[in-house]
Amino acid sequence: KAGVTQTPRYLIKTRGQQVTLSCSPISGHRSVSWYQQTPGQGLQFLFEYFSETQRNKGNFPGRFSGRQFSNSRSEMNVSTLELGDSALYLCASSLAGTGDTDTQYFGPGTRLTVL
Amino acid sequence: GQSLEQPSEVTAVEGAIVQINCTYQTSGFYGLSWYQQHDGGAPTFLSYNGLDGLEETGRFSSFLSRSDSYGYLLLQELQMKDSASYFCAVRLPSGGSYIPTFGRGTSLIVHP
């Protein structure tokens, strides 16, 4: 099975711009979660989608949004970029997102740099 | 509050055994997971403990004590390739749901 794929892998934007990141989960996985990883804050949960519905949301401002499509692919959008948004954005997929195992499979991430 | 604590760095030599501890504070509990992340790579799942006790997967074992809100990852017969960051993770209650929460990570440095 192919793993989780994320596009683009690298992105450079300037303050005030917006960005859309894409994630394709493992075939058959219906849950997609997004994380922001920075050296100072570690892995921070952004949101989780299951069957096109946002099931959970982390503590991030409304500039961060996402959606999931009927084929389970997901996108996240960040509007009005700030310097502090520079980070590695990771997408993870799982079969159902909850339950006993909660095994998440991570993609390679999108490295976003905001200038 | 609700949080996860793990050491920031651990060093060991090849062939040795190392234990990475994780303590958590939460009013709810959903199970403890461990992930490995090499520099420049994505986190990869190592193990999950939903119940008390030891789970063994090859050279890696993970332990959980729910009464002590404590778990650990045990790495045996260390190899250079084990040098990486290790994260413990739980689902913490938030707004009526449970959200995935990761510790800050433990950087394991394996010396020859």
Chain B neighbors of A33, CB-CB under 8 A: 100
Q: Locate tokens 């260390």: which residue? A: B78
Chain A neighbors of B97, CB-CB under 8 A: 55-56
Out of B44, B95, B98, the one facing A106 most closely (by C-beta) is B44
Question: Scanning every residue of chain B, which has its alpha carbon at the shortest distance from the alpha carbon of A6?
Answer: B42
Q: Please indicate whether residue A83 or residue B97 has the higher confidence score (pLDDT).
A: A83
Candidates B30, B35, B75; CA nearest to B57 is B75
Contact A98 B48 (CB under 8 A): no
A54 at interface of B, judged by CB pairs closer than 8 A: no
pLDDT given at position B100: 86
Model confidence pLDDT, tens digit, residues A86-110 = 999 999 998 875 554 568 899 999 9
Work out the average pLDDT over A50-59: 90
- Total beta-carbon pairs less than 8 A apart between chain A and chain B: 60
Model confidence pLDDT, tens digit, residues A1-25 = 689 999 999 999 999 999 999 999 9
| Min Cα separation A42/chain B (Å) | 5
Quote the CA–CA distance of A32 and A26 in Å, as a whole number: 10
High-pLDDT (> 90) share of chain A, %: 79
How does B69-104 read in b/e, with b if 16+ C-beta sit within 10 Å? bebbbebeebeeebbbbbbbbbbbebeeebbbbbbb
Pairing of strands A87-94, A110-114: antiparallel
Model confidence pLDDT, tens digit, residues B7-63 = 999 999 999 999 999 999 876 677 899 999 999 899 999 999 988 999 998 999 999
Tell me what the pLDDT averaged over chain A comes to: 92
